Amino acid sequence: MQIGKIDGNVTHVHLTQHIYSPPPIHMSRPDRRDGARHSIADAQKQVLALMDHVPDRIVVLDFMAREFKTKMVIELDAQQLYRLRRYVEVVLKNGGQS
């Protein structure tokens, strides 16, 4: 846009406007997230395998319900899976009782 006055003093104003256009969003996830998803799935499998050795699985399920508000291992994030794994290891060390 230019603004000017012909008679007398000339005022010149020059405006430049840059419009930011974010890159397009693709539906596929980056590889690192796929890797994270696979590591969580592996952690879920490991915890479930450990839980198979607990004589009274209800103890572990009650812990999950109390701490994470779910009894489904698949609903846990990485930090919750870590806590659950450590809990199951303690239960196994104590002979199935916590």
Q: Does residue 50 or residue 13 have the better pLDDT?
A: 50
| Residue 42, token pair as written in the block | 């592996």
> Residue 87 above 80 pLDDT?
yes
Q: Classify strands 2-3 and 13-14 as parallel, antiparallel or unpaired.
A: antiparallel
Taking the complete model, does pTM exceed 0.75, yes or no?
no
Determine the Cα–Cα distance for residues 49 and 59; give it in Å rounded to an integer.
16
Mean model confidence pLDDT for the chain: 78
Cα 29 → chain centroid: 13
